Amino acid sequence: MSGNVQLLSDTLAKAKAEDRAALVAYLPAGFPTVDGGIEAAKAVFDGGADIVEVGLPHSDPVLDGPVIQTADDIALKGGVKIADVLRTVREAHAASGKPVLVMTYWNPIDRYGVERFTAELAEAGGAGCILPDLPVQESAVWREHAEKHGLGTVFVVAPSSRDERLATITAAGSGFVYAASLMGVTGTRESVGASAEDLVARTRATTELPVCVGLGVSNAVQAKEVAAFADGVIVGSAFVKRMLDAPDHAAGLTAVRELAAELAEGVRRTP
């Protein structure tokens, strides 16, 4: 393994060595503005996030619930471009020294050009990409370019994934495996559910890669629950909601920093 994905792997290994799960925060680029989104990413790192996923806003985010859709709409109305996503990655990584990934649907990368996107993401210091709608069997071109530039490729597994399918997906991925703990769209939920623990166990049986759980975690209690069985806890909608609910941008930054601190305590598995 080489390049930027090494930082991602090292970060997850360090968390494991500290007997805790890693805290992974998701924020869309360009929300509430490009500069504001960069400040938000820095704020969650300041609060205690280990890894940040920068979302590439999409006009039809099939996997995302209403909170992230609202933020994506704001970003798209503001004219966010792939260059802004890459700038967000660059500045968030440069300020923190921590791994920053891009989470995106496949279509924007395909249109932009795979070679161009992977080269520019690596140059910006990005650790890799989470590609929720790219089928593994259609990912060879992406993986070839990602590997050439030292980028991780994170695939998403779901409770509906059969064991043999899990093995195919995890064999193709790098960095970590994103386990979607509940079927359906992202968003905070009252309980993260037992399906997540079963999915993590089945995924681990197929790979040495860390398994990080997303979809539904919104507070420290849930983070602790998931940290008991997962290598990483991914939180998105809860951060975005704090920003949306804040009376102004400064209050939003304070709110996401505080949430990151609460969640960072939660993933530490202490009794």
53 in catalytic set: yes
Backbone dihedral angles phi then psi of residue 117, each to the nearest 5 degrees: -65, -45
d(CA 110, CA 190): 36
Q: Considering the candidates 39, 50, 64, 197, report the single residue annotated as catalytic.
A: 64
Q: Considering the candidates 10, 18, 19, 53, report the single residue annotated as catalytic.
A: 53
d(CA 202, CA 184): 19
Residue tagged 């967000």 (tokens): 88
Backbone dihedral angles phi then psi of residue 64, each to the nearest 5 degrees: -100, 140
Backbone dihedral angles phi then psi of residue 137, each to the nearest 5 degrees: -70, -10
The one-letter amino acid code at 230 reads A
Residue tagged 């891009």 (tokens): 102
Containing 119, the helix (H) or strand (E) segment is helix 114-123
d(CA 66, CA 58): 13
Q: Which residues of 165-174 are buried (b: 16+ CB within 10 A; e: fewer)?
A: ebbebbeebb
d(CA 108, CA 80): 12
| Nearest alpha-carbon partner for 161 in 183, 133, 188 | 183
123 in catalytic set: no
- How far are the Cα atoms of 48, 69, 90, 105, 165 from residue 22, in angstroms, in the given order? 10, 25, 21, 24, 26
Other Cβ atoms within 10 Å of 27 Cβ, number: 28
- Catalytic residue numbers read 53, 64
